[in-house]
Amino acid sequence: MSYLRQMGRNMGKMVGAMLLLALVAGCSATYRNHGYMPPKEDVDLIEVGKDTRETVAASIGKPGTSGLLADSGYYYVRSRFKHYLYNAPQEIDREVLAISFTQGGVVENIERFGLEDGRVIVLERRVTDSNIKGIGFLRQLFGSIGRIDVAEQIRGN
């Protein structure tokens, strides 16, 4: 009987150790990489004033992001995020490679930026302004009363 008790204790310790290990592993941070950054050796082969948009795309690939204007530039962005439990992801590293071109499509400048060079920019996705600024909820709710012509609605016009 003592053999079964000893075996049960050992199993209990093993299960407890596995639960503790799972708990510790669940609390550790997860790191995720986003984006693409061409190797420095490949970027060093690009010559300012000589290479064109096509040769850059052929040597290091087209970027996932380009400028807003059709002929502005190429932007390669790589970020590393730290996810920890229920907290919002935190960006711990960012690298941006900006290659600008002249009007003729020749490389004009190559710049590299890091997280310390960046700024937080709030993006507004709304195109038009809302016309309800400064209007209370009840005024919005009852604002159309009096503007509806019931007789016109009955006639079907």
pLDDT value of residue 133: 60
The total number of residues shown for the chain amounts to 157
**How high is the pLDDT of residue 128?**
41
pLDDT averaged over consecutive 10-residue blocks of the chain (157 residues)? 74 82 73 90 90 91 69 84 85 86 88 73 44 67 71 73
Determine the pLDDT at residue 1: 58
Question: Whole-model pTM?
Answer: 0.57
pLDDT score of 7: 76
E strands, the chain, where? Answer: 30-35, 65-66, 73-83, 90-101, 107-114
The 8 Å CB, 24+ separation contacts for 137-145 are none
Vertex 120: Cα angle to 118 and 121 (nearest 5): 115
**What is the predicted pLDDT for the residue at 124?**
40
